[in-house]
Every structure is written in C-alpha cells, then in structure tokens.
Amino acid sequence: MNTPAAVPAEGGAAARPARRRGFTSRVWWPWVRRALTIAFFALVALLVISEARKVDWVEVLASMRRLPAPVLLGAAALALTSHLLFSCFDLLGRHYTGHKLRTPAVMAVNFISYAFNLNLGALVGGVAFRYRLYSQLGLNLGVITRVLSLSMLTNWLGYVLLAGITLTWWPLDWPANWRLHGHALQFVGVLLIAAPMGYLLVCAFVPRRTWGVRGHKVTLPSSRLAALQLLMSCTNWLVMANLMALLLQHRVPFHLVLGALLAAAIAGVITHVPAGLGVLEAVFIALLHGYLPKEALVAVLLTYRALYYLLPLLVATLMYVLLEARLKKRTPAAASGPPSG
C-alpha cells in the first residue's frame, strides 16, 4: 500500500508537490512570513501617517462639531438597525442546521462576533469568537462551521449583487490608470449579478440537495432561505450606505456613496488591515473628493467609525465579559447541553 508514495513513478509530477511542501515547512519560513506581515503593516501605517499630515485636523474637528444633532441621532439609529439586522444572520444558520439555541443567545453571539470582526478582523471576530462562544453554549464544531459559513455567504451575497448593479448602471469615476473602464466594468457587473442569481436558481431547482466537497457534506438551503439570505444582506448593505449618506447630509448622490462603501469593503478585505484603518478613508477621499473638501470627508468618516465601529465594540466587549461570566457559572452538565446536531 505504501508503494505509490515510495516510488516516484511519475518523476517530476511527484517531486513538485514535495518541493512546495518543503519550502513552506522550512525552519526560517514562519520568520519570513512574520517579517513580511510586519513590513506590510508598517508600510500601511507610514502611508496613513503621511496622508494624515496633509489633513487640517482643526478643520476636521470643526466639521464634526457642525454635524447637526438630528443627523447624528438618525445615523446612530441606522447603525443600530444594521447591527441588529446582522445579528439575525446566524438565526438563518440555526434554521439551516436545526440547532436549538435560543434566539437571544444566537443574536448575542452574532453581535459580539460582528463588532469584533469589524474592529479586529474576521479571524478574531467572525471566526474565533463564534467558535469559542457557541462551543461553550453546547454546539459542536460541525454545526458551528455550518452556521459561520452560511452567515459569511449571506453577507457576501448581497454585496456581490449590489456591486454588480453599481458597476452595471452607476459606475464610479475610477482612477485614470485603471485598465478596466466602461464596457469592461459593465461586463464585470453583469457577471457579479449572475452569481447570486445563479445561487438562487441552484437552491430552487437542483434536485440533488447534498454534495460531497473534499470529504465534507454540503447541503443546499431551501429556495426560501436563499432568498431571505439575499434580502437580508442587501438590506444591511443599503442601511450602511444610507448611514454614510445621512452623515454626508445627502451632498453626494446615493449610488456613489454605495459604490464607495462597497469598494472600501473589498479593499479592506484585500489589505487585511484591521478595521480597514486608513483604507476606508483613502477610498472615500479618492472617489468622492470632487463633492466635499477632504477635511469634511474625514470628519464624516471619523463619525461613521465612532458610530458603527467603536460604540458597538464597547457594547460587545461588555456583553462578552458578562456572557463569559455567566457561562463559567454553568455546571459541566448544563454547559454540555442537549445534542445540537
């Protein structure tokens, strides 16, 4: 049984994967990877500091103080609406997996994970917090993975659809050195629209519901659940865009605000910068600088961060501490809970 692995019958074909594995398993590779990561974040920090020096911060603070109270209250209400809506994404996962955790517990874990995800990145917030809290609440790893996967899919379904619509009908004024313009971007937009539509069609009409993917079973959601995923995700992204548009006091066309928000979101994912620090600001300033002075844009973006990132993080931190304290008081028998599928 060991003969195929021991004899390089296919010559180079067997040797190439071994060389790839050997490269990343070298003793020095983790140090190189850490060094590259540190260098990347250092470069980002330098760029942020360099751009920050060009901003008149006195004017930024003055612009923040000039934001009307009704605008701030309305923006806070929209931020709360978005976080509450996102906290329901894992309820779709409960329906999908059939686990029995109560709605308040699911929404609390989802809210905590999302708030930390926004500020510290997906691995810390979206993944680590879910696995820790859900496992303490009695869910097994398989169920947690399916809940997490469905929640992530829900979030990006709406993103892809709205990004496709924006590129197709309301293209942004991209930098001149970009290679994709006009019809090319519209073609990309059509492809993006086709992806979530194809997902809905597959969930609705494919008779085979369970598939094997790399040793794991993947079950298609029902057509109603898939449609609800898309509706909730689109609504959440539109609420976020309305929050930003309200802070901008509607001095920028809404479709441009939505496009800039979507562009900033994917830029933050690509760069892996926690909270998209500096990325969000750079994208909005680059795309909307013709509508507002830089200082006014920075004032709006800082206010957006305070309302949508920092305040929810403070609430989530308090909730997490209280939830951890409550879970530690549970007896081992209670903590194990009933079977959760």
Dump the DSSP string for 140-155. Answer: -HHHHHHHHHHHHHHH
Which residue in this structure is represented by tokens 């180079």?
Answer: 12
Cβ neighbours of residue 152 closer than 8 Å, sequence gap 6 or more: 126
- Rounded CA Rg of the chain: 23
Residue in 199, 224, 222, 220 with CA at minimum distance from that of residue 211: 220
Helix (H, G, I), strand (E, B) or coil at 66: coil
Per-residue pLDDT of the chain (341 residues; tens, 9 = 90+): 444 444 444 444 444 444 455 556 667 767 776 676 666 556 555 555 555 555 556 777 888 889 999 999 999 999 999 999 999 999 999 999 999 999 999 999 999 999 999 988 887 778 999 999 999 999 999 999 999 999 999 999 999 999 999 988 887 665 555 555 567 778 889 999 999 999 999 999 998 888 877 767 788 999 999 999 999 999 999 999 999 999 999 999 999 999 999 998 988 877 766 656 678 888 898 888 888 888 899 899 999 999 999 999 999 999 999 998 888 877 454 444 444 43
By the 10 Å C-beta count (0-12 exposed, 13-18 middle, 19+ buried), 34 is classed as exposed
Q: Do the beta carbons of residue 244 and residue 263 sit within 8 Å? A: no
Q: What is the spatial distance between Cα 248 and Cα 252, in angstroms, rounded to a whole number?
A: 7
Question: What pLDDT is stored for residue 43 in this prediction?
Answer: 57
Give the CA count within 13 Å in the CB-facing half-sphere of 20: 5
Q: What is the spatial distance between Cα 148 and Cα 150, in angstroms, rounded to a whole number?
A: 6
Question: What pLDDT is stored for residue 275 in this prediction?
Answer: 59
- What's the predicted TM-score (pTM) here? 0.79
Q: CB 65: neighbour CB atoms within 10 A? A: 8
Instruction: Give backbone dihedrals phi and psi of 213, rounded to 5 degrees, phi first.
Output: -125, 105
Q: What is the spatial distance between Cα 296 and Cα 318, in angstroms, rounded to a whole number?
A: 32
Q: Long-range contacts of range 221-225, CB-CB < 8 Å, 24 or more positions apart? A: 221/96, 221/150, 225/92, 225/95, 225/96
Domain map of the chain by residue range?
Answer: 15-54, 61-336
Beta partners for 210?
219
Cα 80 to chain centroid distance, Å, stands at: 17
Q: What is the spatial distance between Cα 211 and Cα 111, in angstroms, rounded to a whole number?
A: 31
Q: What is the mean pLDDT of the chain?
A: 82
Residue in 138, 140, 139 with CA at minimum distance from that of residue 336: 138
